[in-house]
């Protein structure tokens, strides 16, 4: 049985997170260029590109895995996951060892995906917790807990 997954209509849209990833990468690289140097900006940009491409490849593999029979694709998914992780580690080793990049800028660029996911999760949590329809009436009636 195959399932069709619509990422654009998901409650927390992966497409929105991807757009935010690229926007954050661009803003951080521009900020690094304005406040530090072109080397810092290049380092942030390279780190952001690596993180965003890795995120996109992971999304593609997860969508493929979720659309097929989970038992059949589990081994292939894990194999691809660890191969990608190893390739990413080797790429970062090469960039750090032989590249003329600032390590701090590279790390900041690599964090763009984490920042995007964290921001989106916090925004959705605030939206969800502020909604009256999500309050359990039994908890409110008994006076246990409160809504944020």
Q: Tens digits of per-residue pLDDT, 72-129?
A: 677 777 888 888 889 989 988 888 888 788 888 889 998 999 998 888 888 878 777 7
Structure tokens at 147: 């809504």
User: Mean pLDDT, the chain, as a whole number?
Assistant: 79
C-alpha distances in Å from residue 92, one per residue of 8, 44, 49, 119: 31, 13, 12, 25
Angle between helix 112-129 and helix 38-67 axes, rounded to 10 deg: 60
State the DSSP code for 12.
Answer: S
Rounded mean pLDDT, 55-77 = 76
pTM over 0.75: no
Rounded mean pLDDT, 48-56 = 90
Residue 1: what pLDDT?
47
Cα–Cα distance measured from residue 18 to residue 15, given in angstroms and rounded to the nearest whole number: 5
């Amino acid at each position: 049985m195959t399932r069709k997954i619509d990422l654009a209509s998901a409650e927390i849209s992966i497409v929105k997170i991807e757009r935010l990833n690229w926007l954050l990468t661009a803003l951080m690289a521009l900020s690094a260029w304005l406040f530090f140097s072109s080397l810092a900006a290049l380092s942030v940009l390279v780190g952001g590109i690596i993180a965003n491409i890795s995120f996109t490849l992971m999304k593609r593999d997860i969508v493929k895995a979720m659309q097929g029979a989970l038992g059949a694709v589990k081994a292939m998914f894990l194999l691809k996951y660890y191969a990608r992780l190893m390739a990413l580690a080797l790429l970062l080793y090469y960039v750090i060892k032989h590249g003329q990049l600032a390590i701090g800028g590279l790390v900041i660029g690599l964090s763009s995906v984490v920042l995007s996911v964290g921001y989106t999760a916090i925004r959705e949590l605030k939206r969800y917790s502020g909604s009256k329809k999500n309050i359990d009436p039994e908890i409110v009636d008994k006076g246990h807990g409160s809504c944020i």
